[in-house]
Amino acid sequence: MACLLLNLLFSILISLLIFNKYTKAKVTGVCVNCHTMHNSQNGASMMFNSSYNNATGPIRYLLRGTCLGCHGQNPSGTNYLINGIPQVLHAGSVDLPGGNFAYIVGIKTRVGSDQYTAGHNVVDLGVIDAYLSSPPGDVYSTGVTNNNLTCAGKFGCHGDRTVSDPYLAIRGAHHTDDSVLKFGSINLSAQGGTVGTSFRFLLGVKGGELRWDRYTTNETHNEYFGASSPGSGGSATSPAGNTISGLCAECHGNFHSTMGVGTSSPWLRHPSDRLLPNTYEYQYYTTYNMTAPVARQATWSGWSGSGPSNTVTPGSDVVMCLSCHLAHAGPYYKILRWDYKGWPGNGGVNGCGICHKYKD
């Protein structure tokens, strides 16, 4: 019996070690990891001791931190996960797929950008964007400004954007069974109906979640959902086509609309939610490249597979906003995935050349 228990314990330990880095949005574990009944333990505050918590407590829903309080618990630390909580703001080398807000506040070194061009300057960081007072291309008049941009809700990206209060906008998502987003059990039709069943709690967005860290190989990455056209139905609070680019378009709609971008080549602006052509220079992009990832259509067979694919299929796969940009922040100008501004003088990567092979 003792041996059996020991084996069970060992198995659990190994499972935690192996799978901890893999994404699992439905929170498990003891409540105290996130909540506090009285914000007091032996007379001391239970608030996360983050300089970006922006609250001494108590916080609604008995939380121990704000968004950044929980997801940026230790800005000077090096862990991208703390107690299974993904860290969007830390000093470590491993960023999340969306990047790292540490580049905005200067904890991590910027390359070719400044504190206003390295990322989305959510007000929680205390670095108000000095260049942009509203989102470029904001055709839906979201009301988002440099003084109210935050993580969730009407003025953020995550949660229900019809709800102003970020806590209400995200409420319940952390406790939702999100297995429909996980490889092996992905169910596209069951995604996007609630915040909890939406890719990265981005309401309405579909996709396939694999891991929290920004992937380091072509095979281990999340899969983004895209479409062959921007479609209709997009609004300030609803992503057209349930795509990740549709989510971006809620604030930057002009860069996603047929009016702002065009309907075919020659485009007026860079297209997103358009198929990577299987002709000309584009046909040679066939191996997934982390510098310019593609999204997958609903018809992609990989959704029913056990994991993501390192194959790109021109003519089927999709160019998206995140093919060029990160979502949170990065070292490079305009949240781009490579040092666009410095090329070719920097002798570095030409991200454009990944799709535009002949322009390298």
Partner 1 sequence: MAVVSVISIRIKYLAFIVFILLLSIFTSKYSESGNYTNSQHGDPTSGVTRSSIDSRYSGFSRGNCAHCHEPHASIGGSEPEPNTGVAAGPDKVLLFSEEEDVCLSCHNGVIVPRDMRTVVNKTYRHPITDYSGRHTLSKNEYGQNGAPFRGTNRHAECVDCHEPHYIGKPGTAYHSYNTTSPANNNLVSNLLKGVWGVEPTTEGTWLSPPTTFTELTTPGVGASKEYQICFKCHSYYALQDSDGITSIIGPSGQYITDQSMEFSKNLKSVHPVRVPLNNQTGSYAPKALTASQLRSPWNSAPGSQTMWCSDCHNSDASSPVGPHGSNYKFMLNGTRKYWPASSRGVLFSLNNVRNNENNWSTELFCVNCHILYDGNWKNNAHSNHDSRTYTPDGGSGSHPYYCITCHSVIPHGSPRSRLIVYRTDPQPYVYVNGTVIYAMLYGFKKASPTSYQGTNCYTPSSQCYRHNTNAGGYD
31 near partner 1, rule: CB under 8 A: no
Block residue for tokens 């609004």: 235
- Toward partner 1, which CB reaches closer, 45 or 134? 134
332 near partner 1, rule: CB under 8 A: no
Q: Choose which of 281, 286, 305, 349 interacts with partner 1 (CB under 8 A).
A: 281
- Toward partner 1, which CB reaches closer, 43 or 266? 266
128 near partner 1, rule: CB under 8 A: no
Residue 147 in tokens: 């003084």
Longest Cα–Cα distance in the chain: 71
Residue 33 in tokens: 């990891």
CB of 357 to partner 1, least distance (A): 6
Site for partner 1 in 79-118 (CB under 8 A): 112
Q: Judged by CB under 8 A, which stretch of 31-39, 207-215, 241-249, 259-267 contacts partner 1?
A: 259-267
Q: Judged by CB under 8 A, which stretch of 8-16, 240-248, 293-301, 349-357 contacts partner 1?
A: 349-357
CA distance 230 to 330: 26
Q: Judged by CB under 8 A, which stretch of 9-17, 47-55, 160-168, 267-275 contacts partner 1?
A: 267-275
* Contact assessment for residue 244 and residue 318, using Cβ atoms and an 8 Å cutoff: no
10 near partner 1, rule: CB under 8 A: no
SS3 content of the chain, % helix, strand, coil (to 5): 25, 10, 65
CA distance 164 to 168: 8
Site for partner 1 in 134-163 (CB under 8 A): 134, 136-137
* Contact assessment for residue 92 and residue 81, using Cβ atoms and an 8 Å cutoff: no
258 near partner 1, rule: CB under 8 A: no
Kindly give, in sequence order, each residue whose CB lies less than 8 Å from that of residue 311, ignoring residues fewer than 6 positions away: 286, 287, 288
133 near partner 1, rule: CB under 8 A: yes
CB of 200 to partner 1, least distance (A): 23
CA distances from 322 to 126, 220, 288, 295 (A): 25, 17, 13, 9
One DSSP character per residue, 204-222 reads T--EEB-BSSPPSSTTS--
- Toward partner 1, which CB reaches closer, 80 or 255? 255
Binding site for partner 1 (CB under 8 A): 112, 131-134, 136-137, 255, 260, 265-270, 280-281, 284, 324, 333, 340-347, 352-353, 357-360
